[in-house]
Structure 1
Amino acid sequence: MLFKLNIRRRCYRLWYSTSVRLIHLIILLVITFLIVLLIKLRKKEDCWLDKYRARLFCFVLTNEENLESRGRAVYETWARRCGRFVFVTRLNSSRNCENKTEKNLHGLCEFPIENITTLPDESYSHLSDKVRASLLYFNEYYPNYDWYLKADDDTYIIVENLLRFLISTIKRYPKPVLYGYRFGEDYVSGGAGYVITREGLNLFSSHIKNYSIYSQCNSTMEDMMIGKCFEKVFQIESHENIKHLTLVGETIDQHGRERFHPLAFRLHFNGPLNKTNREWIYYRPFHPTLFGYEAISETTISFHYTQPNDMYQIHSLIYDIKLFDRQLCLVSHL
């Protein structure tokens, strides 16, 4: 009897210890599985964004005098986050980078400058011609992108927010061909940056390469030229070919706040000090002009008139500084 009791006790102890070990092992396996799953999901998220990043072509209008200051700030901050990025400018022959055998680490040749032979001279009066020549060139030599972002050398772009926004527009119908800060006359701000879709660029190029058509929609202001020329294209093109398209897409967020900003951050936040100096911001926009917190979306994409020092500072605030426990320690706004 005692012998049987001892056997039972030993069997129970063995079963109990084995069960505990098994439970511990299961818990360990579950924790390991969750950690691996989180890592894979994070990598999948990064790869998912990179997949769309490769579909974004960015080009920045600049000139040779600004390359080392404004151009460098653009190049060292947001520009390399695009799938493909180039500067658009004319270099004089003494600074032609194509014949250099060594990379100049402290000069202009380190920048990706597209050699567009049809560019006009560098003057504001020829800015529309410069943009037209660039778009025709990119349509021919870089046709495999879904979105084409045009920006100035004093525009700061938050590329990840731009990509998220563009991805959210994929299923829109009818499909816009142009995105940016909207003005009432059916065009968008050039300084805030704008995006032309693949289909939009192809339509633009197929008609505006004809100079007689271009001359009917040209303007000294390149952003107005883009809007007028797209409007002209929509008039010329057969309804059957463009019935699924619309001209300008909506870019404000669900709270009515702008994503693209044609002024500097401080001006959108504080308001212009001199109303007459920025009078157009009050009567030309498509949506009512707002300032302060109500003006700036939490998914903001761009700011114009950003000087090089400001560009580095904004970039550091966005990408280098981490907000501790943002999701866990929410603070009520009193």
Structure 2
Amino acid sequence: MERRTRHETGFQYLFTLGIVVGVAIGLITTLFQINPFISDELLLSQNTDEDDSYELQKSLQMISENQIQPSSNLPGTLLKRAEEVLARMISAEVKILCLVMTNSTRKAAHHVKLTWGRHCNKLIFISDGNDESLPSADVGKEWHREGSWAKTNGALKYVWRKYREEFDWIIKTNDKNYVFVENLQEMLLPYTPDEPIFFGFRMNPILPQGYMSENAGLVMSKEVVMRLVNNAFDGKDKKCPQWNDNKHPDDIKMGICLAAVNAVAGDSRDWEGRNRFFPMDVATHAFVQPTKYKWFWTYTFWPAFIGMEGCADTPVSFHYIKPAVMYAIEYLAFTVRPFVVNHLEMNTPAPTPASANLNQTTPAVAGK
């Protein structure tokens, strides 16, 4: 019964947003038909302490009753407000802990914190020392001795012990990833954290249900993390590779452990079958050639499309992202708003001063 309630809640958010935005667009269109030149006064409440959906509905009611002054910023501002409301609603419903693996010799972690990391509900860095500026945690001497698989074990045990009440899902990445956290939250809405399910870029060799590429990031429900920590790690399940196991890469080791605790590999593709998780950088996947990266075409679990046709418009993660590119993606994703694509602002010309001579053909010179 609880699972059904959470599923219904997720779909209810999307359904509600559709109604709200639909009404907003209708009202905006009508308003522009009446008066296409709108002033800068927009009576959308900025008080985030009050209920978001109530504030949005109140603003729409004010528009419908002609209680606001015309404003050229109305369409874009109202729709942006709707997006922000939905993002906060989903963020409260789908709490993501971003677990970022790094070390003291790499400085990319600081750029993760300033870009996509700020979108996480909780951001934890795992390093080879405690860095209060991030902050990061050192999960013990074992992984220094045994390697990255021991580091993964220690990291998951650490966040389960210290933060288990603060997340629904974990995405395990490293400081070379860029993650669209809001897209991940939206993707996870139909699922619940008590389901033993995990997501990522699915590879197919060795294991019956495959495993998730280490590069693209691994998303695990709270139930999966609990099972790994309590039932698999530290020799609790003999099928799960131990720290000093060198037979397989870490992502295959994790796949073996996940299978041992009966976790289910989820399908993270969008409804058109396009990938959301990517083990390489944006350019490689958007402009990839069939003859390059043969391992990709050989080991991918699902049939892969070539180039942008295979990339979902709601991607979750990319890998091999340099710090400068993190800022570029952050700007393009969260600041740039292409005309028509994201909002309905009119291309209103710049205001002409009342004293200007409309017949003047040469530019005015200051002081004359």
Provide the TM-score with structure 1 as the length reference: 0.72
> Helix, strand or coil for the counterpart of 1:75?
helix
Aligned to 1:256: 273
Q: Map 1:80-159 to 2 at 5 A.
A: 80-91=118-129, 97=131, 109-121=132-144, 126-144=147-165, 145-159=167-181
Aligned to 2:334: 319
2-structure distance, mates of 1:131, 1:299: 27
> Helix, strand or coil for the counterpart of 1:114?
strand
In 2 relative to 1, CA 119–64 (structure 1 residues): closer, same or farther, beyond 3 Å? farther
Q: CA deviation at 1:47?
A: 3.2
Q: 1:298 aligns with which of 303, 309, 313?
A: 313
Amino acid at match of 2:139: I
Cα RMSD, aligned residues only: 3.0
In 2 relative to 1, CA 150–119 (structure 1 residues): closer, same or farther, beyond 3 Å? farther
Higher RCO (CA 8 Å, separation ≥ 6 residues) = 1
Question: Which deviations, in whole Å up to 9, do the C-alpha atoms of 1:112-159 show, x marking residues without a partner?
Answer: 20242355118xx71111111111121111111110110111110011
Q: Contact 2:97–2:122 (CA<8 Å) still a contact in 1?
A: yes
Amino acid at match of 2:177: T
Aligned to 2:65: 30
1-structure distance, mates of 2:304, 2:223: 31
Q: Contact 2:87–2:182 (CA<8 Å) still a contact in 1?
A: no
Q: CA deviation at 1:161?
A: 0.4
Q: CA deviation at 1:28?
A: 7.9
Q: CA deviation at 1:233?
A: 2.2
1-structure distance, mates of 2:296, 2:250: 17
Q: Contact 1:179–1:249 (CA<8 Å) still a contact in 2?
A: yes
Question: Which deviations, in whole Å up to 9, do the C-alpha atoms of 1:242-291 show, x marking residues without a partner?
Answer: xxxx510010111110000011111111115863xx22101111111222
2-structure distance, mates of 1:225, 1:27: 57
Equivalenced residues, count: 267
Q: Contact 1:57–1:82 (CA<8 Å) still a contact in 2?
A: yes
1-structure distance, mates of 2:87, 2:265: 30
> Helix, strand or coil for the counterpart of 1:31?
coil
Q: Relative to total residues, which structure has the larger helix share, 1 or 2?
A: 1
Q: Contact 1:58–1:149 (CA<8 Å) still a contact in 2?
A: yes
Q: 2:100 aligns with which of 60, 64, 67?
A: 60
Aligned to 2:110: 72
Q: CA deviation at 1:298?
A: 0.5
In 2 relative to 1, CA 134–328 (structure 1 residues): closer, same or farther, beyond 3 Å? closer
Aligned to 1:3: none
2-structure distance, mates of 1:163, 1:287: 22
In 2 relative to 1, CA 47–224 (structure 1 residues): closer, same or farther, beyond 3 Å? same
Q: CA deviation at 1:213?
A: 3.1
1-structure distance, mates of 2:326, 2:232: 34
Flag structure 1 segments of 5+ consecutive residues without an equivalent.
Answer: 1-25, 98-108, 235-245, 330-334
In 2 relative to 1, CA 73–42 (structure 1 residues): closer, same or farther, beyond 3 Å? closer
Q: CA deviation at 1:31?
A: 2.5
Identity across matched positions, percent: 24
Q: Contact 2:196–2:223 (CA<8 Å) still a contact in 1?
A: no
Flag structure 2 segments of 5+ consecutive residues without an equivalent.
Answer: 1-60, 345-368
Q: Contact 2:180–2:315 (CA<8 Å) still a contact in 1?
A: yes
Aligned to 1:271: 288
In 2 relative to 1, CA 207–151 (structure 1 residues): closer, same or farther, beyond 3 Å? same
Aligned to 2:200: 180
In 2 relative to 1, CA 284–112 (structure 1 residues): closer, same or farther, beyond 3 Å? same
Aligned to 2:360: none
In 2 relative to 1, CA 196–29 (structure 1 residues): closer, same or farther, beyond 3 Å? closer
> Helix, strand or coil for the counterpart of 2:197?
strand
Amino acid at match of 2:101: L
1-structure distance, mates of 2:214, 2:226: 20
Aligned to 1:232: 260
Q: Which has the larger radius of gyration?
A: 1
